[in-house]
Chain A
Amino acid sequence: MDRLDPRVRVAVVILMSILCFLLRHPATIVAALVVALVLWRAVGLGWEELVAGIRPLRVVFVLVIAAQGFFFPGDTPVRLDLPLLGALTLPLTVQGVSFGLMLCLRVLVLATTVPILTSQTSIDRIVLALTRLGLPYRAAYTVTTALNQIPVLRSDIATISAAQRLRGSTAFDRGRFLQKLRAYPALVVPLVMTSMRRATLMGVAMQSRAFGSGAARTSIHALSFRRLDAMVLAASLVLFGVLVTVDRVI
Chain B
Amino acid sequence: MQALPEHLPPPAVEFHRLSYRYPGSSRWALHDLSLRILPGEFVAVIGPNGAGKSSLCKSLNGIIPHFEGGALKGSVRVHNRDTRQHEVADLARHVGLVLEDPDAQLFAGTVLDEAAFGGENLGMEPQMIRSSVARALRAVGLRGFDERVPSTLSGGQKQRLAIASLLAMTPSVLVFDEATSQLDAEGAQHLMELVCRLKLRYKLTVVVATHDMALVRAYADRVIALEAGRLVAFDTPERVLSAPAPRFSLHRAPGEGTRPTLDIAADPLIDRCGVDIRSVRCEYPGTVAVDDVSATFSPGEFAGIVGRNGSGKTTLFKAIVGLLRPVAGEVRLAGRPVQSLDSTDLVRRAGYVQQNPDHQLFADTVWKEVAFGPVNLGLDRDEVEDRVRRSLDTVGLRDQANEHPLALGRSDRSLVALASVLALESGVILLDEPTRGHDMAGSRRVMEIACSLRDAGRTIIAIGHDLGLLCEYASRLVVMDSGRIVADGPTGEIIESRTEVLEAAGVLATHRAPSERMAVPFSDDMYDEEQICG
On whether the beta carbons of A163 and B123 are closer than 8 Å, the reply is: no
CA distance A197 to B125 in the complex (A): 34
On whether the beta carbons of A210 and B107 are closer than 8 Å, the reply is: no
On whether the beta carbons of B126 and A163 are closer than 8 Å, the reply is: no
On whether the beta carbons of B99 and A213 are closer than 8 Å, the reply is: no
What are the 9 tightest A-B residue pairs by CB atom distance, in nearest-first order?
A: A215-B123, A213-B89, A168-B376, A189-B362, A205-B105, A201-B104, A122-B109, A210-B121, A209-B118
Q: Considering only CB atoms, which chain B residue lies closest to A211 in the complex?
A: B121
**A236 CB-CB contact with B under 8 Å:** no
Cβ contacts B343-372/A at 8 Å (1 or 0 each): 110110011101010111111000000001
On whether the beta carbons of B358 and A213 are closer than 8 Å, the reply is: no
**A222 CB-CB contact with B under 8 Å:** yes
Q: Considering only CB atoms, which chain B residue lies closest to A192 in the complex?
A: B362
CA distance A233 to B303 in the complex (A): 64
Cβ contacts A181-210/B at 8 Å (1 or 0 each): 000011111100110011001111111111
Q: Report B97 CB to chain A, min CB distance, Å.
A: 4
Q: Which of B113, B119, B124 contacts A124 (CB 8 A)?
A: B113
| Given A167-B373, A186-B372, A206-B107, also A212-B358 (CB < 8 A) | no
| Given A167-B424, A205-B105, A220-B133, also A210-B122 (CB < 8 A) | yes
On whether the beta carbons of A203 and B67 are closer than 8 Å, the reply is: yes
Provide the residues of chain A in CB contact with B165, threshold 8 Å.
209
**A216 CB-CB contact with B under 8 Å:** yes
Known: A210-B122, A218-B120, A220-B129. 10 other contacts (CB 8 A): A148-B107, A159-B354, A163-B360, A165-B323, A167-B376, A168-B347, A186-B362, A193-B361, A207-B63, A209-B117
| Given A166-B321, A190-B359, A205-B99, also A210-B354 (CB < 8 A) | no
On whether the beta carbons of A190 and B360 are closer than 8 Å, the reply is: yes
On whether the beta carbons of A218 and B105 are closer than 8 Å, the reply is: no
On whether the beta carbons of A122 and B110 are closer than 8 Å, the reply is: yes
Chain B binding surface, main DSSP class: helix
On whether the beta carbons of A213 and B109 are closer than 8 Å, the reply is: no
On whether the beta carbons of B120 and A207 are closer than 8 Å, the reply is: no
On whether the beta carbons of B358 and A124 are closer than 8 Å, the reply is: no
CA distance A188 to B107 in the complex (A): 23
10 contacts between A and B (CB under 8 A): A122-B108, A123-B109, A168-B343, A193-B362, A201-B104, A202-B104, A205-B105, A205-B162, A206-B107, A207-B67
Q: Which of B67, B121, B363 contacts A213 (CB 8 A)?
A: B121
On whether the beta carbons of B99 and A201 are closer than 8 Å, the reply is: yes
CA distance A186 to B374 in the complex (A): 15
Provide the residues of chain A in CB contact with B104, threshold 8 Å.
198, 201-202, 205
* Interfacial residues of chain A within 211-231, with CB under 8 A of chain B in the complex: 211-220, 222
Q: Considering only CB atoms, which chain A residue lies closest to B66 in the complex?
A: A207
Kindly name the residue among B105, B352, B362, B424 whose own CB sees the greatest number of chain A CB atoms within 10 A. B362
On whether the beta carbons of B359 and A124 are closer than 8 Å, the reply is: no
CA distance A210 to B97 in the complex (A): 11
Provide the residues of chain B in CB contact with A205, threshold 8 Å.
97, 99, 104-107, 162
Q: Which of B89, B130, B162 contacts A220 (CB 8 A)?
A: B130
Provide the residues of chain A in CB contact with B88, threshold 8 Å.
207-208, 210
Q: Report A65 CB to chain B, min CB distance, Å.
A: 35
On whether the beta carbons of A210 and B360 are closer than 8 Å, the reply is: no
Cβ contacts A149-185/B at 8 Å (1 or 0 each): 0011000100110111111111001000000000001
Provide the residues of chain A in CB contact with B133, threshold 8 Å.
220
| Given A123-B108, A124-B113, A151-B151, also A217-B120 (CB < 8 A) | yes
Q: Which of B61, B118, B122, B362 contacts A185 (CB 8 A)?
A: B362
| Given A167-B360, A168-B344, also A210-B89 (CB < 8 A) | yes
**A89 CB-CB contact with B under 8 Å:** no
On whether the beta carbons of A218 and B129 are closer than 8 Å, the reply is: yes
| Given A213-B89, A218-B125, also A168-B424 (CB < 8 A) | yes
Chain B interface size band reads 35 or more
Q: Report B141 CB to chain A, min CB distance, Å.
A: 20
**B87 CB-CB contact with A under 8 Å:** yes
CA distance A148 to B406 in the complex (A): 26
Q: Report B107 CB to chain A, min CB distance, Å.
A: 5
Provide the residues of chain B in CB contact with A219, threshold 8 Å.
120, 126
**B377 CB-CB contact with A under 8 Å:** yes
Q: Considering only CB atoms, which chain B residue lies closest to A207 in the complex?
A: B88
**A145 CB-CB contact with B under 8 Å:** yes
Cβ contacts B157-176/A at 8 Å (1 or 0 each): 00000100110010000000
**B188 CB-CB contact with A under 8 Å:** no
On whether the beta carbons of B323 and A162 are closer than 8 Å, the reply is: yes
Provide the residues of chain A in CB contact with B107, threshold 8 Å.
145, 148, 202, 205-206
**B116 CB-CB contact with A under 8 Å:** yes
CA distance A166 to B66 in the complex (A): 42
Q: Considering only CB atoms, which chain B residue lies closest to A208 in the complex?
A: B97
On whether the beta carbons of A220 and B376 are closer than 8 Å, the reply is: no
On whether the beta carbons of B372 and A169 are closer than 8 Å, the reply is: yes
CA distance A212 to B166 in the complex (A): 16
Cβ contacts B77-119/A at 8 Å (1 or 0 each): 0000000000111101100110101011111111011001111
Provide the residues of chain A in CB contact with B162, threshold 8 Å.
205
| Given A163-B359, A218-B125, also A170-B376 (CB < 8 A) | yes
CA distance A123 to B66 in the complex (A): 28
| Given A122-B113, A168-B377, also A204-B67 (CB < 8 A) | yes
Provide the residues of chain A in CB contact with B372, threshold 8 Å.
164, 167, 169, 186
On whether the beta carbons of B354 and A215 are closer than 8 Å, the reply is: no
CA distance A218 to B344 in the complex (A): 58
| Given A168-B424, A190-B360, A198-B103, also A216-B113 (CB < 8 A) | no
Q: Considering only CB atoms, which chain A residue lies closest to B352 in the complex?
A: A166
On whether the beta carbons of A212 and B121 are closer than 8 Å, the reply is: yes
Q: Report A126 CB to chain B, min CB distance, Å.
A: 9
**B462 CB-CB contact with A under 8 Å:** no
**B139 CB-CB contact with A under 8 Å:** no
Provide the residues of chain B in CB contact with A123, threshold 8 Å.
108-109, 113
Q: Report B428 CB to chain A, min CB distance, Å.
A: 12
CA distance A1 to B169 in the complex (A): 31
Q: Considering only CB atoms, which chain B residue lies closest to A124 in the complex?
A: B113
CA distance A32 to B96 in the complex (A): 50
Provide the residues of chain B in CB contact with A215, threshold 8 Å.
121-123
On whether the beta carbons of B122 and A213 are closer than 8 Å, the reply is: yes
Provide the residues of chain A in CB contact with B61, threshold 8 Å.
208
Provide the residues of chain A in CB contact with B346, threshold 8 Å.
166
